[in-house]
Structure 1
Amino acid sequence: MSDSPLISIIDDDESVRLATASLLRSEGYRTELFASAEDFLASDAARFACVVSDIQMAGMSGIDLTGQLLADDADARIILMTARTEEDLHQRAGASGAVCLLNKPFAAEQLLNCVERALTRG
């Protein structure tokens, strides 16, 4: 398992972080959890194979995080998730360069399909 992909999960809702991590770990992925984009950026972001981030958080949004990560590494693999339904937000998320946008609540298979797509992109 030590060579399995490391996936970061960034969400200000602890229950979402824990549930998402549990699902991904059950599929053999390693995970590391962050309560904010700023906490994630303070870590060594380059070591993650994939980033799963909420859009709406205090401080830096998931969309802004996506922009920063892609500016630093054009091959960054980001999955965004949101419970918000505003069309403008969805358009901005879609244009951000993220691999997927998941609407909360989402089915386990939707997340797993997005992770697979992100990890095999290239």
Structure 2
Amino acid sequence: MSFTDQEVCIVDDDASVRTAVGSLVRSLGYGARLFASAEEFLDGRCAADLVICDVQMPGIGGLELLELLRARHDPVPFIVITAFLQDVVARRATAAGASCVLGKPFQANVLIRCIERALAAPPDHTHV
């Protein structure tokens, strides 16, 4: 798969965050699909190479989405972003196999490093 064939799905109920992260992802040469909720993501499931997802959203939250994907044996790399970064959130995300856990606001270069590391790593099948 070539660099530009990789698709990143961004799931966040905050339109400004979705747009900003999508623009950043596209500027790196990746495809980006934006979803306003976990339910929308699940309904329009793309062949994601990476998911970047907020934790607190109406309906299914980001951690629940990550755990649901792992229960379905989907090892897609997953970056968790949250405005309310707490130890319990970080531990739960890490235990479920999140590649990175970032608190909002985050520096673009930190997210870029997480994206590059997640896409370069082989799928983690230990959490499926």
TM over 0.5: yes
Alignment correspondent of 1:80: 80
1:9-62 CA deviation, whole Å, 9 max, x = no partner?
A: 0000000000000111111111000000000000124x1100000011111111
Identity %: 42
* Cα distance, 1:90 vs structure 2: 2.4
Instruction: Look up the equivalent residue of 1:69 and give its one-letter code.
Output: L
Matches within 5 A, 1:93-112: 93-112=93-112
Instruction: Look up the equivalent residue of 1:95 and give its one-letter code.
Output: A
Q: Number of paired residues?
A: 121
Distance, in Å, in 1 between the alignment partners of 2:67 and 2:36 is: 19
Q: TM-score by structure 2 length?
A: 0.87
> Which 10-residue stretch deviates more, 85-94 or 60-69?
85-94
Instruction: Look up the equivalent residue of 1:48 and give its one-letter code.
Output: A
Runs of 4 or more, structure 1, over 6 Å off, are none
Unaligned ranges ≥5, structure 1: none
The 3 A distance-change label for structure 1 pair 109 and 60 is: same
Alignment correspondent of 1:17: 18
Distance, in Å, in 2 between the alignment partners of 1:115 and 1:66 is: 16
The two structures, once aligned, show a CA RMSD in angstroms of 1.7
Q: TM-score by structure 1 length?
A: 0.91
